[in-house]
Amino acid sequence: MNLDHSKIPQATAKRLPLYYRFLKNLHASGKQRVSSAELSDAVKVDSATIRRDFSYFGALGKKGYGYNVNYLLSFFRKTLDQDEMTNVTLIGVGNLGTAFLHYNFIKNNNTKISMAFDINESKIGKEVGGVPVYDLNDLEKHLTNDIPVAILTVPAQAAQPITDRLVALGIKGILNFTPARLNVPEHIRIHHIDLAVELQSLVYFLKHYSMTEEK
């Protein structure tokens, strides 16, 4: 089936990796089919939403049968480009950056941090988690256009100038772990994860809302 990605709502697209991971586990355990209720229970998305999401993928569940696990899995694999490895670069090999370099992303999807950059002499020229760390001054020398994604784990004040250089080099997406709000041209995708804010907002919700209200 040919899929027009622009027709898939962003909220649906964001749930794709979640579905994909669960279906992979189901497949590995030998299951052939799954109901939307089972899926709902496992991924904590209500079953009406799942049915709507899946209808965008052309996967129509049959009453009393559910969804065909193999069909869904091959669909997700194609849609998420799981057959193709995406290389990622990481800038800033501090505590957080070092943890990412040691984390095995490939376990769950086909992304791989293939090079890292820092300005600290003691880190440059070393390997961390098997990934070479280069001098940020040499970014233009090392960053090739087969690396479309960058993770930023530098101090906030360093984020924008580095972003400008990445954009000039043709980066397509940035996962920004700094608290800085980044300015980029419209065609560049930024996902912002501020761990301190996320934690604070979780604590806030726990204090001020009961679990049922939060849903």
Which helix (H) or strand (E) segment is 90 a member of?
strand 86-91
Which part of the chain contacts ligand ATP (CB under 6 A), choosing from 68-76, 80-88, 116-124, 163-171? 116-124
Q: Which of 96, 169, 184, 190 binds ligand ATP (CB under 6 A)?
A: 96
Q: Which of 115, 119, 16, 2 is nearest to 72 (CA)?
A: 16
Residue 148, token pair as written in the block: 């479309």
Which part of the chain contacts ligand ATP (CB under 6 A), choosing from 4-12, 34-42, 68-76, 117-125? 117-125
Q: Which of 136, 147, 149, 171 binds ligand ATP (CB under 6 A)?
A: 136
Report the C-alpha gap between 195 and 12 in whole angstroms. 23
The region that residue 94 occupies, defined by phi over 0 for left and psi between -120 and 50 for alpha, beta otherwise, is beta
| Half-sphere exposure in the Cβ direction for 129 (13 Å, CA) | 18
Residue 158 within binding range of ligand ATP, rule CB under 6 A: yes
Size of the site for ligand ATP (CB under 6 A): 17
Q: How many residues does the chain have?
A: 215
118, 121, 124, 125: CA torsion to nearest 10: 170
Does the annotation list 130 as a binding residue? no
Residue 125 within binding range of ligand ATP, rule CB under 6 A: no
Q: Which of 153, 163, 166, 167 binds ligand ATP (CB under 6 A)?
A: 153
125 vs 155, beta carbon nearer ligand ATP: 155
Residues binding ligand ATP (CB under 6 A): 91-97, 118-120, 123, 136, 153-155, 158, 162
